[in-house]
Structure 1
Amino acid sequence: MTRVVALTPNPAWDVTYRVDRLLPGESLRVRSVVARAGGKGVNVARVVRALGSASVAVCPLGGPLAGPFADDLDADGQPAAVVPVAGAVRQSVAVVPAEAGAEDGGHPTVLNEPGPALDDAEWAALVAACVAQVGTAPAAVVATVSGSLPPGTTRERVVGLVGALRAAGARVHVDVSGPGLVWAAEAGADLVKPNRSELVEATGVDDPARAAGELLRRGARAVVVTDGERGLTAYEAGPDGPVMPAVVGRARLAAPVAGNPTGAGDAAMAALAVDPDQPWAHRLALAAATSAAAVLQPVAGAVDRADVDRLLTHVVTEPES
């Protein structure tokens, strides 16, 4: 199976608080705390390994949490390429209620710090580290770019990153939001994976098919849109070009699972990367099952392969239209 080089441009020290119920404006008793190295790309790397493939996490790290971050990856057995930077690693705090409240519906509340900006030399070092990890067998490598981008990231940086990875021979899958999603498409990313709200925000188009067509028109080779319990839909350019995209597959779980959905999208990203030569029906089914398996875990970046295999039997797929 494919080796995955998972870049987290803006990593975070993830802290998960579990509470009985989230009551805004009240003092809450925390029932348990988990703190670990995180960020979407780190989550992808961990889930890739749980699915049986090799991965390396690439992260810019600096500040007082850089040491604990690297130590946590090492303790977990997660191979990593660390790029030292001046700015401090941010924190991301998820508050997960055991009981649904009127305001949160049982969903976690996540507080994301912005993270540090990278100067030109630091960004260049990060790109070089990713390219170096592509290695000597580029046909068997998928490079993923996941999560928020550092403050001040420009179109030129994103286009240069995607271009450098593709020039090295990697297939490039991108899961970012805002303008970065459009820039990745313009750079010719092999796959972009927004959720529905991110797709609408980035393109300004309300209809998912037309919005996916906009990203295909700009240069993306495939678009996979996640939509919560509705599952995943994959689009490629249709016979008349990207303006009328073709649905090449859909997958969803027959019945939703309850739990912590914080890392579900990252789990889907990992599943899409591990075997990109499989038909869309296979890839989307694995992504739907892996995403659901992540919801069952208390923290992001974890799945139980037994859960994935069990949930695969409950995935509903639709062939290409």
Structure 2
Amino acid sequence: MTGPGQVRVLCLTPNPAWDVTYGVDRLDPGEALRVRSVAARAGGKGVNVARVVRALGGDSVAVAPVGGLLAPAFAADLEAAGQPASLVPVAGALRQAVAVVPEHAGPDDGGHPTVLNEPGAVLSEEEWGLLVRTAVARAADRPVVTISGSLPPGTTQARFTDLVRSLREAGCPVHADVSGPGLLWAAEAGADLIKPNRAELAEATGTHDLTQGVAALQALGARDVVVTDGEKGLAAFAPGSTAPAARARLDAPVHGNPTGAGDAAMAALAVSVGRPWAERLALTVATSAAAVLQPVAGEVDPEDVRRLADRVLTENVNDTPRTTED
């Protein structure tokens, strides 16, 4: 695990949200449900990444466009958490993302959360330009920049490409965790690392074959590609290679709220930049699993990360699986 201040990460959330998490006994569609617990906080995938980076001992700053009635609450929540941030004022209202997390599995949900994501605000050309300039300015002393989550409605390829290239021209490696067309745009813009899950990779490339999907991103210009696949773990692909540089998975799945697992994985990849792939993936799997144990996204307990790291199985190319202790 990284030490304090060793890795500085700028975490950009183009389409932030006010995250609301409802805990229920069981999710029964069509029925009136009694909410047992409520948690509300500043969120969006990049904000979650920023929080986890700090939990892992790194230093992070969150950048996001925020407006509307929830903007003051968003800013106040980050300040109360001690999370440094540069919030770009915009005219559109901050969206909400509501996660309904059942304690017990129902017949239709298998115990998985149901998430309702509002679309977010459209950014004007001036607002988008200010967001890019703010990110580049704050990234000046950051060796890693992450771009996470959905893109605001109306975002064009030209806008997104300009964002990625502006950051890279400023000397910052860019890690992107976006879906849909944004995944392809990130590859074409030359993002240094792209982290789709298996479903996102298939949706964007039109193939369910892992090797073909990775090759399609590489043909567009992708460099490192890390593909997550739930309980099956994840695989890392170096530039120009469709053979995994390493794979990693937990010896047995953990149960809880997986809403922020991907964001935790993104944070771990950021703070471990420059390390060998097997080491990076071991930390990523442990951090992602630790996030599942938390009731809300954007949190991990460092003790859980350390404990779960002993249960990670890693595999280098042409090697047999081994624990991280071997």
CA–CA separation in structure 2 for the residues paired with 1:58 and 1:209: 34
CA–CA separation in structure 1 for the residues paired with 2:37 and 2:28: 17
Which residue number in structure 2 is paired with residue 123 of structure 1? 128
Partner secondary structure for residue 223 of structure 1: strand
Query: What's the offset of the Cα at 1:246?
Result: 2.5
Which residue number in structure 2 is paired with residue 2 of structure 1? 7
Q: Which of 252, 255, 258 is equivalent to 2:252? A: 255
Which residue number in structure 2 is paired with residue 196 of structure 1? 198
- What is the TM-score when the length of structure 1 is the normalising length? 0.96
Partner secondary structure for residue 238 of structure 2: strand
Q: Which of 208, 211, 218 is equivalent to 2:210? A: 208
CA–CA separation in structure 2 for the residues paired with 1:209 and 1:250: 14
CA–CA separation in structure 2 for the residues paired with 1:2 and 1:155: 30
Partner secondary structure for residue 263 of structure 1: helix
Partner secondary structure for residue 243 of structure 2: strand
Identity of aligned residues (%): 67
Which residue number in structure 1 is paired with residue 185 of structure 2? 183
Which residue number in structure 1 is paired with residue 156 of structure 2? 154
Superposition pairs of residues 69-148 of structure 1, within 5 angstroms:
69-135=74-140, 137=141, 141-148=143-150
Query: What's the offset of the Cα at 1:198?
Result: 0.3
Structure 1 outlier segments of 4+, above 4 Å: none
Which residue number in structure 2 is paired with residue 163 of structure 1? 165
| Aligned residue identity for 2:272 | D
Which residue number in structure 1 is paired with residue 56 of structure 2? 51
| Aligned residue identity for 1:305 | P
| Aligned residue identity for 2:296 | V
CA–CA separation in structure 2 for the residues paired with 1:148 and 1:131: 20
Partner secondary structure for residue 242 of structure 2: strand
CA–CA separation in structure 1 for the residues paired with 2:191 and 2:7: 17
CA–CA separation in structure 2 for the residues paired with 1:103 and 1:233: 30
1:228 correspondence with 2:218:
no
Unaligned 5+ runs, structure 1: none
Query: What's the offset of the Cα at 1:275?
Result: 2.2
Unaligned 5+ runs, structure 2: 1-5, 319-326
Query: What's the offset of the Cα at 1:206?
Result: 1.4
| Aligned residue identity for 2:168 | R
Q: How many residues align?
A: 313
Which residue number in structure 2 is paired with residue 317 of structure 1? 314
RMSD: 0.8
CA–CA separation in structure 1 for the residues paired with 2:182 and 2:34: 38
Query: What's the offset of the Cα at 1:245?
Result: 1.6
Which residue number in structure 1 is paired with residue 39 of structure 2? 34
Which residue number in structure 1 is paired with residue 275 of structure 2? 278
Query: What's the offset of the Cα at 1:2?
Result: 1.8
CA–CA separation in structure 1 for the residues paired with 2:225 and 2:317: 14
Q: Which moved more, 1:261-270 or 1:203-212?
A: 203-212
